[in-house]
Amino acid sequence: MSAAPEYRVWALPGIPEVRPGDDLAKLIAGAALGEGLPGLADGDVLVVTSKIVSKAEGRILAAEDREAAIDAETVRLVARRGTLRVVENRLGLVMAAAGVDASNTRAGTVLLLPEDPDASARRIREGLREALGVDVGVVVTDTAGRPWRKGVTDFAIGAAGVRVADDLRGGVDAYGNPLVATVVATVDELAAAGDLVKGKAGGLPVAVVRGLPHVVTEDGEAEGARWLVRPAVDDMFRLGTSEAVKEAVSLRRTVREFTDDPVDPGAVRRAVAAAVTAPAPHHTTPWRFVLLESEESRTRLLDAMRDAWVADLRADGLSEDRIARRVRRGDLLRKAPYLAVPCLVTDGAHDYPDARRSAAEREMFVVAAGAAVQNFLVTLASERLGSAWVSSTMFCREVVRDVLALPEGWDPMGAVAIGRPAALPAARPARAPDPFVTVR
């Protein structure tokens, strides 16, 4: 009968205060040879707190203003709540305060994460091989919280000589079910195991894990911990709520060229669901969205609109050449694989005996329609769909109502071209709010 799987983990006492320039491998080797300790052996894994790595590498910054240090280490804001910031740092790690730590360091200073934690782990591993003649794995760790879970845990930010992940995809479980998504983050599990004996305030920055030689690899056989950083394209939770709204607003650009990729009708309906949360007068719902999902319906509408436009231009006395050029410039809607026609419905509007108040009443409804369309466009952007809101239908509302068989009270408020952008729009220049603000 085979023995049950097991491993041991213990902390290494006796590591002195680490200072810039110290040789960590020598300090760890000396501690490992302490009296009463089992020493180090091939196949062991050293779990090393990043704080001592940062100290040895001189990543100590005099910073009365910790926020400035966080700014310098940040490449992207993920979420903010009050003074707390969760950011992506220059290592690609998403952490509170970019991993800038004001604990376990002198007052008036902060610790930055190592420049290259994988390289740091390799140096410690090579130093221990030279000092003690052993082949061990090394994991450099830091502490972070996790979405949807209270509390913090240690995780790997650097690794050398360790299999960082166990990819079980393509295998089967004990019942023969296929495993299609299971990738175990082995180094993170080692980091958490080590922290159980190191602790956060016990002055024990290094732990040894023994009994798992299968996770230790030869030089060059394993990726570093950087492999575990999820690329942006696969990140479903890239932003906090308010930051996601801001990004969607910034992505809301007029797109003039679309790919031929089909548009998901469900995404458009989610945008409609957001649109109808806009404010409206008198507790009304003055919006309707006509979705043209077939090429036949789009062509029929756009042909009728073009004929009406040509008739208007001829009535204005334009030459056939100028008319043709105008019509070609108006072909944006034809390039889109999907069209939506937002309509204003003024059911519930108040009747007033004078024109002034009646005009103001309609304006309230028009403003509500604009708010709904803005919600619609922003939500499309959050779905990674491009759009262009054009006013064409407002010049031939009767034609649009007739072709689409709409009720008399529906006022088409332009048309929205929707599709996948053929190219990313140019960066939008920053626009300060001050020129648009008057304070009284």
Judge whether residue 68 has pLDDT over 90.
no
- Stretch 200-216: mean pLDDT: 89
Residues 28 and 169 in one domain: yes
The answer to the question of residue 321 being in a domain is yes
**Length of the chain counted residue by residue:** 440
The answer to the question of residue 103 being in a domain is no
Structure tokens at 401: 């109502």
Where a domain ends, among 179, 208, 234?
A: 234
pLDDT attached to residue 393: 87
- Stretch 103-111: mean pLDDT: 83
- The CA distance from 308 to 306, in Å, is 5
Of the candidates 56, 47, 59, the residue with the CA atom closest to the CA atom of residue 24 = 56
Cα 432 to the center of its chain, rounded Å = 25
pLDDT attached to residue 330: 67
DSSP 170-184: T-B-TTSPBPSS-EE
Where a domain ends, among 181, 201, 234?
A: 234
pLDDT attached to residue 1: 55
pLDDT attached to residue 380: 93
pLDDT attached to residue 18: 93
pLDDT attached to residue 328: 78
Where a domain ends, among 201, 234, 267?
A: 234
DSSP 153-209: EEEEEEEESB---EE-TT-B-TTSPBPSS-EE-HHHHHHHHHHHHH-SSSS--EEEE
Categorize the per-residue pLDDT at 106 as very low, low, confident or very high, splitting at 50, 70 and 90. Answer: confident
- Stretch 381-403: mean pLDDT: 91
The answer to the question of residue 96 being in a domain is no
- The CA distance from 429 to 426, in Å, is 9
Cα 53 to the center of its chain, rounded Å = 29
Domain that holds residue 387: 251-436
DSSP 239-260: S-HHHHHHHHHHH--B---B-S
Judge whether residue 426 has pLDDT over 60.
yes
Max Cα distance, the chain (Å): 102
Query: By the 8 A CB rule, do 375 and 275 touch?
Result: yes
Residues 46 and 188 in one domain: yes
The answer to the question of residue 95 being in a domain is no
Residues 155 and 284 in one domain: no
- Stretch 372-397: mean pLDDT: 91
Residues 282 and 398 in one domain: yes
The answer to the question of residue 272 being in a domain is yes
Structure tokens at 429: 């220049």
Categorize the per-residue pLDDT at 201 as very low, low, confident or very high, splitting at 50, 70 and 90. Answer: low
Query: By the 8 A CB rule, do 415 and 291 touch?
Result: no
Structure tokens at 65: 């203003």
- Stretch 252-281: mean pLDDT: 93
- Degrees, nearest 5: CA angle 255-378-382: 90
Residues 344 and 278 in one domain: yes
Residues 264 and 405 in one domain: yes
Residues 259 and 195 in one domain: no
Cα 221 to the center of its chain, rounded Å = 31
- The CA distance from 132 to 198, in Å, is 22
Structure tokens at 210: 């023994």
Q: Which residue has the higher pLDDT, 62 or 296?
A: 296
Residues 209 and 280 in one domain: no
If you search the block for the tokens 């296929």, which residue do you land on?
178
Structure tokens at 232: 């942006």
* Helix (H), strand (E) counts: the chain: 11, 17
Burial class (CB within 10 angstroms; exposed 0-12, middle 13-18, buried 19+) of 142: buried
Residues 182 and 280 in one domain: no
Residues 424 and 311 in one domain: yes
For the chain, give the percent of residues with pLDDT over 90. Answer: 59
Q: Is the dihedral of CA 23, 223, 210, 41 positive or negative?
A: negative
Half-sphere exposure in the Cβ direction for 248 (13 Å, CA): 22
Q: Which tens digit of pLDDT belongs to each residue from 149-172?
A: 899 999 999 999 999 998 787 788
The answer to the question of residue 75 being in a domain is no
Q: In the chain, how many domains are there?
A: 2
- The CA distance from 390 to 388, in Å, is 6
End-to-end CA distance of the chain: 85
- Stretch 48-52: mean pLDDT: 95
Q: Which tens digit of pLDDT belongs to each residue from 288-331?
A: 999 999 999 999 999 999 998 889 889 989 898 998 888 876 67
For the chain, give the percent of residues with pLDDT over 70. Answer: 98
- Stretch 194-204: mean pLDDT: 84
Residues 262 and 129 in one domain: no
- 158 strand-pairing partners: 140
For the domain that residue 182 is a member of, what is the CATH number?
3.30.1330.100
Q: Which tens digit of pLDDT belongs to each residue from 211-261?
A: 999 999 987 667 899 999 988 877 878 877 777 777 777 778 888 899 999
pLDDT attached to residue 58: 94
pLDDT attached to residue 427: 74
Q: Which of 310-314, 344-348, 397-401, 402-406 has the lowest mean pLDDT?
A: 310-314
Q: Which tens digit of pLDDT belongs to each residue from 173-186?
A: 888 888 777 888 99
The answer to the question of residue 255 being in a domain is yes
- For 208, phi then psi, to 5°, come to -115, 130
Query: By the 8 A CB rule, do 339 and 308 touch?
Result: no
Residues 288 and 203 in one domain: no
pLDDT attached to residue 2: 65
pLDDT attached to residue 218: 83
- The CA distance from 388 to 416, in Å, is 5
The answer to the question of residue 85 being in a domain is no
Of the candidates 197, 165, 272, the residue with the CA atom closest to the CA atom of residue 37 = 197
For the domain that residue 277 is a member of, what is the CATH number?
3.40.109.10
Categorize the per-residue pLDDT at 415 as very low, low, confident or very high, splitting at 50, 70 and 90. Answer: very high
Burial class (CB within 10 angstroms; exposed 0-12, middle 13-18, buried 19+) of 94: buried
| pTM as predicted | 0.69
